[in-house]
Structure 1
């Protein structure tokens, strides 16, 4: 496996950067997995907490870690993906992040054998919400999406319709203090204008014509948190939701250093990276 970056490309008169990993000795077309960082974070930090690139060789996939545009160096929260929220700086500045990602796909296709039927988007927090936007707006490009702690923007759910089924995996903690798990915003939260975790998952489940029947399982429980799995449709489990009772705004299975009084607990016994890979890559073979 080789890791490249930072690579710089110009898109719509802005310099954009990204990192990516490629399996050695490519002999056939391989999938591509995009990995989007959260608000105020970076591609390098997202690589550190998720380790997606470390699975590149084993799963024979290209992983890509792009950076969002940072408008004010004095305010890290002005570095966000345009996931569709009106209160987002990238939205207000009309940053075409969707177009940037599509251009980046073309960049990869010019250099590597890309399996165009197996391109996926994943992310954390703001990066998760952006991944879900890509799955909704670019249904002809992405074969599946997934994310952690970043539900779908309400306005996007109102405007778009499904043209085909979309595999999806979502993970969120019930004690998230930054993004409301239940979708009910008050002044204590930093982010609003998003659906609840449950409504986000059910919105994607509708792409399969699911009427509400699903598989429900309590998969793990200890003194700190419990993990509940809900999957739609019941037999195929194409849309999966892991609800972490007591979990915070962190990447499950990532470094314990993520935990704080603001971000909450890290569910160490749930490997979000592995689960996302297995759901989006393995199940689509």
Structure 2
């Protein structure tokens, strides 16, 4: 109880109304910030799912909310979940300090796992949250951080979504006694930064660590969860003919536990982008194509919703 009281004291900004709100907490002598969005239907009389949305390296909470057209907030109003956009220290996440030391958070070995754990506990104190429906998702570095959270905080994180990201080799090598969890991968086959196949993350022609690629990441998860390795494949309508992409939804069934899910949305010719996000033509040559055939926010929420008890 004393620990929870201390956490409340660290909650520096008192919530004064619904919708979007910027908050802070002190963690390891850093003033950490995050944006909270409460749905219009928020009520203390019922428990709400919580989705943590993690920006990519070099991004911010505001940036990922804006680039995704704040569509998670729209979905939150329609479906009654809470969205929180945390900020990494100096625009980066410490998914694993051994991956590389090119970012501030990994160079300084910032304890982002503990930060997210404390953040979830603060949010559970402040708002009416379903502790069995806490999810994390992110793009790129934020995707790797989501993987780390799922493996390190099995009692907190129900499921994760990785956009333009797949499993880091270091995280797999160092993770012990990992408990099964549900996961959705959304990845472009022409991603120039996070390779769809096994290889090194490339940023400005410099390696930022090794990743398993989608196939080996899914194989790892199927072995962990007991899911079938032969997927059920569902086509996604090619609505935007000028985005140069097509997409396919692959579902890996679990015969013993249908709520333990592994899914992949494969975006053929897709780049290092968030499907359905604002198109940034001036950097498209660097990151590749952004499909507009679907919105990743829709797919992530549908996935998370499907495993809520």
Q: Same fold (TM over 0.5)?
A: yes
Which residue is equivalent to 2:304? 280
Tell me if the contact between 1:32 and 1:119 (Cα under 8 Å) persists in the aligned partners: yes
Indicate the larger mover: 85-94 or 106-115. 85-94
Which residue is equivalent to 1:135? 150
Indicate the larger mover: 93-102 or 158-167. 158-167
Which residue is equivalent to 1:64? 84
Give the total of aligned pairs: 277
Query: Shift in Å at residue 121 of structure 1?
Result: 0.3
Which residue is equivalent to 1:74? none
Aligned residue among 32, 44, 48 for 1:16: 32
Tell me if the contact between 1:215 and 1:234 (Cα under 8 Å) persists in the aligned partners: no
* Equivalent position SS for 1:136: helix
Which residue is equivalent to 1:225? 245
**Are residues 1:243 and 2:257 paired?**
no
Query: Shift in Å at residue 10 of structure 1?
Result: 0.6
Aligned residue among 195, 210, 234 for 1:193: 210
Which residue is equivalent to 1:42? 60
* Equivalent position SS for 2:130: strand
* Equivalent position SS for 2:284: coil
Query: Shift in Å at residue 203 of structure 1?
Result: 2.1
Aligned residue among 264, 267, 271 for 2:291: 267
Query: Shift in Å at residue 162 of structure 1?
Result: 5.5
Which residue is equivalent to 2:92? 80
The two structures, once aligned, show a CA RMSD in angstroms of: 2.2
Distance 1:239 1:58, change over 3 A: same
Q: TM-score, normalised by structure 1?
A: 0.89
Which runs of 5 or more structure 1 residues have no equivalent in the other structure? 71-78
* Equivalent position SS for 1:191: strand
Q: Distance in 1 between matches of 2:157 and 2:254?
A: 23
Q: Distance in 1 between matches of 2:220 and 2:73?
A: 29
Query: Shift in Å at residue 99 of structure 1?
Result: 0.5
